[in-house]
Amino acid sequence: MKFSKLVNFFKNPHGEKIQRLKERYQELDELSNVAVKIGDGAAYRSLQAEMREVFFDYLTAIVVDSIYSLVPHVIIICIISLKWPTVTLPLVNWEISIFAGYFVCYISYYLSKGILGFLKSRFSSKNALLSAESHIINE
């Protein structure tokens, strides 16, 4: 149980703080809208000032979280580059730096993951539609 908490912390160290700030910002936005509806200018200005503070805290937490997510990749690149500073592409026989190779692999992984997810959702919705149509035709 403690190990999973540790893994979740390293995976998303500021997730709870980001979520809390996002919810607070939405709450302040709703209160600000109410202040506009009732015509309370002082409350509106006060809420807008607090919204700015919460928004900048939210942005700061997102930037710090992004930096934390980049650190493992930098460490991996450094470790790999100690052994292999360049990589040779097999088909074209080009040598590229390990940083460029890692970056291309990283981008390719997430692009293929996104494309496969899109295709999977696309085909599953078509299959659901076809099965619904065949069920209606059979009845």
Task: Give 112's pLDDT tier (boundaries 50, 70, 90).
Answer: very high
Give 90 or 115, the one with higher predicted confidence.
115
The share of the chain scoring above pLDDT 70, in percent, equals: 82
Type of residue at 136:
I
Tokens of 59: 């942005």
pLDDT at position 127 is 59
Is the pTM value of this prediction over 0.85? no
Task: Give 120's pLDDT tier (boundaries 50, 70, 90).
Answer: confident
29-84 pLDDT, tens digit per residue, is: 999 999 999 998 899 999 999 999 999 999 999 998 888 888 888 898 889 889 88
| Distance between CA atoms of residues 48 and 42, nearest Å | 10
Give 45 or 136, the one with higher predicted confidence.
45
Question: Would you call 95 helix, strand, or coil by DSSP?
Answer: strand
Q: CB–CB of 80/102 below 8 Å?
A: yes
pLDDT at 93 over 60: yes
What angle (nearest 5°) sits at the alpha carbon of residue 127, between those of residues 125 and 130?
110
Task: Give CA 120 to chain center in angstroms.
Answer: 20
What angle (nearest 5°) sits at the alpha carbon of residue 53, between those of residues 13 and 38?
125
| Distance between CA atoms of residues 17 and 2, nearest Å | 20
For the chain, domain boundaries: 1-83, 89-139
